[in-house]
Amino acid sequence: MQKTSETKVLRDPVHGYIHVDLQVVWDCINAREMQRLRRIHQLGGDFQVYHTAEHSRFSHSLGVYEIVRRMVYEIDSIAESLSDYGKAVVMLAGLLHDIGHGPFSHAFEDISPLKHEEYTVKIIIEDSEIHRILANCDPELPNDVASIIRYENPKECLNQIVSGQLDADRMDYLLRDAYFTGTSYGKFDLERILRTIRLKDERIVVKQSGIHSVEDYIMARYHMYWQVYLHPVARSYEALLSIMFQRMKDVAKKDPDVLREVSMFHPFLFKKEPDIEDLYQMDEPAAFYGFSRLLYCGDEILCDIAYRILNRKLFAYKTIESEKDYTAICDKVAAMGYDPTYYVYRDAVSQRPYSPYSIQDNPHNILVLQEDGSIKELSEASEIVKALTRADLKEEHKIYYPIEHLANEDVRIKTKTHKDYKESTIWQLSE
């Protein structure tokens, strides 16, 4: 693998510095598909809650690359098991693992026919700048990198490094998201974990002495999900995005001319399988511009939802205990002149701190290397994690709906366009 003329050092608030000394890595960082990630938030709706959560998929991808680089060079048992080519393959997989993401994180998949992992593989193996860079370095490189994204590389540890329960992806996003949201929930001792990771029988394991750091990591992940990723205000924003995309799909079938001004969305509405150039053109600035055009599209629901998204006029939320609660809200919304199909959003989320897979040697399990050389699954080696696995699954069922006209049942809405909201008092969610 060709080296850069000198090591490139990029300052990073999470890792201090990110080091690049392979030319193929540097070229991929500067490729158009990677640079597009600068224009996509790392967190879908959380920037509507935490005002400093403006970090991008680009910075996260560099962070994942740096953790992978440290793992394959600094952990002796891993470094000794990999050739220079193998190290490059897994570092590139870490760098490129998110290049298929659309705007607004996972919410965009409500309108896209393909999942972001599928787009990622397409960009790597089909005609793209990334593909040409990889293939020019080695004709086998695109397929080998894609095999890790698919979790199909025959060398199991490479898959685990990028995608597992204790992987470079999760370790970076927890620390990065905690930093940029200003929360402390996602903090854990990355240095200690890296010092205690080993490779045994082609599997990533953690030494017994590192188990407390892994326990902290498990709890950090759990708290970040409930306090950040599943924050109800962020979910309200994502609910509006989902409603917007659903309404666009419905309008595209009935009256596509309404959408003539938002050509950036056309491939995802009218094509069976958008190509990678379509995805390249779709970033968050393009999406926001499309929403601004929908303010004047003539469809009242699209106008209203676009106005809410652009101006943070979010839906309220309520925890529901039964189907009766849901039906009551739907009836109330309908009585106020709204279509519940688009003005009542049902959301169910659940999370368990750690859930071991049923098979002992399942590659997704976190494994602990005992002092006698044996291996135990994490919940068998840690009393704390064992207790967590026995805890009930935490679930929340919420509905999101417009509260500003429901607070007083005598209030009727005149129209459902954004113009009316400019003249009325809007109930806003607090942070």
What was the pLDDT predicted at 409? 43
Indicate whether 177 and 199 sit together in one domain. yes
Assigned domain for 166 exists: yes
Q: How much is the mean pLDDT over the chain?
A: 90
| In a shared domain, residues 262 and 357 | no
Q: Looking at the predicted structure, is the pLDDT value of residue 426 above 70? A: no
Host domain of residue 147: 3-230+353-390
How sure is the predictor about 360, in pLDDT bands with cuts at 50, 70 and 90? low
Give the CATH number for residue 340.
1.20.1250.30
List 367's β-bridge partners, or say none.
205, 377
Indicate whether 270 and 297 sit together in one domain.
Answer: yes
Band (423; pLDDT cuts 50, 70, 90): very low
Q: Residue 161 and residue 346: Cα distance in Å, rounded?
A: 35
Both 202 and 236 in one domain: the answer is no
**Same-domain check for residues 288 and 224:** no
Among 69-73, 360-364, 422-426, the range scoring the smallest mean pLDDT is 422-426
- Please tell me which residue, 36 or 427, carries the higher pLDDT value: 36
> Are both 381 and 412 inside the same structural domain?
no
Position 415 pLDDT exceeds 50: no
Per-residue pLDDT, averaged over 397-423, amounts to 57
CATH number for the domain harbouring residue 364? 1.10.3210.10
Same domain, 416 and 313: yes
Q: CA dist 341 to 234, 337, 401, Å?
A: 20, 12, 11
Are 307 and 371 in a shared domain? no
In the beta sheet, which residues pair with residue 9?
19
d(CA 370, CA 357): 20
236-291 confidence digits (pLDDT tens): 999 999 999 999 999 999 999 999 999 999 999 999 899 999 999 999 999 999 99
- Condensed to tens digits (0 to 9), the pLDDT of residues 95-153 reads 999 999 999 988 898 888 889 999 999 999 999 999 999 999 999 999 999 999 999 99
Q: Judge whether 428 lies within some domain.
A: no
Residue 429 lies in a domain: no
Residues 402 and 309 in one domain: yes
Question: Could you give the 3-state DSSP secondary structure of residue 363?
Answer: coil
Residue 111: phi and psi, rounded to 5, are -110, -20
C-alpha closest to that of 220 among 161, 250, 179: 179
**Do 417 and 362 sit in the same domain of this protein?**
no
Residue 27: the pLDDT is 98
The DSSP result for 182-249, as a single string, is T-STT---HHHHHHHEEEETTEEEEEGGGHHHHHHHHHHHHHHIIIIIT-HHHHHHHHHHHHHHHHHH
- Whether residue 426 lies inside any domain: the answer is no
The pLDDT value given to residue 416: 42
Give the pTM. 0.91
Q: Is 286 a member of any domain?
A: yes
pLDDT in tens, 183-222: 998 999 999 999 999 999 989 999 999 999 999 999 999 9
State the Cα–Cα distance between residues 104 and 286, nearest whole angstrom.
12
Mean of the pLDDT values across residues 362-390?
Answer: 88
From the CB of residue 105, how many other CB atoms can be counted at a distance below 10 Å?
22
- The answer to whether position 344 is within a domain reads yes
| 81 and 201 within one domain | yes
pLDDT > 70 fraction of the chain, expressed in percent and rounded: 91
Does residue 427 sit within a domain?
no
- At 124, which amino acid appears? I
Residues 6+ apart with CB under 8 A from 370: 208, 376, 381
Q: What pLDDT score was predicted for residue 306? A: 97
Count up the domains in the chain and report the number. Answer: 2
Task: Give the mean pLDDT of 327-339.
Answer: 91
Model pLDDT, residue 52: 96
- What pLDDT band is residue 428 in, cutting at 50, 70 and 90? very low
In a domain, 254, yes or no: yes
Tokens of 102: 């659309």
Residues 46 and 89 in one domain: yes
How large a percentage of the chain has pLDDT more than 90?
77
